[in-house]
Chains A and B, each alone.
Chain A
């Protein structure tokens, strides 16, 4: 199947950590991506992880991959109001298969 699923909403306080979760169904996917979309804008690549990795850290972003459970998560440390956006996970199979997006709201 080609379903990638995410929870739709997440609300956090400024300074807290945010964790956005994603599940996918195709275990043969080689790369998994996180994109960010701000209102009225296109998609900005945040980070990606190769399927043979368990974790990848990039400044405030940490990606965890559990291949057994087909579960991907994005942790944003010290979340700021500027992080408010919609976050999409995607698996790559030549084309990108996207989740529905998680709207992150950061309250001051």
Chain B
């Protein structure tokens, strides 16, 4: 099976712009979670989608949003970018997202905000 794929791998934006990142889960997986990784805050949970519904949300401002399509692919959007949004954004997929399931991560999208 192909792994989790994320596009684009690298992105440079300027403050105030918006950005959309894409994640394709492992075939058959219906749960997609997003994490932000920064040197200062480490790995932090953004949100989780299952069957096109947001099921869990971390402690991030409303500028961070996401969605999931019927084929389980997911996108996350960040509006009005700030310098502090520079990070590695990782998505992970699992079959149903249950606590007993292992999450498999993609390679990440590295976002630089100038």
Interface residues of A (CB under 8 A from B): 30-31, 33, 35, 41-45, 48, 88, 92-101
Contacts and interface: CB of A to CB of B under 8 A. Distances in A.
Contacts of A99: 42
B92 to A, nearest CB: 8
> Which of A33, A43, A48, A101 has the largest count of B CB atoms less than 10 A from its CB?
A43
A93 B99 contact: yes
A42 B99 contact: no
Contacts of B25: none
Interface residues of B, number: 23
Counting chain B CB atoms within 10 Å of each CB, the highest count among A33, A45, A92, A95 belongs to: A95
Q: Interface residues of A: mostly helix, strand, loop or mixed?
A: strand
Contacts of B35: 96
A101 B42 contact: yes
A95 B105 contact: no
Contacts of B100: 30-31, 92
A93 B102 CA distance: 12
A48 B94 CA distance: 15
B64 interface: no
A4 B106 CA distance: 22
B108 A42 contact: yes
Contact of B90 (A31, A33, A42, A97): A42
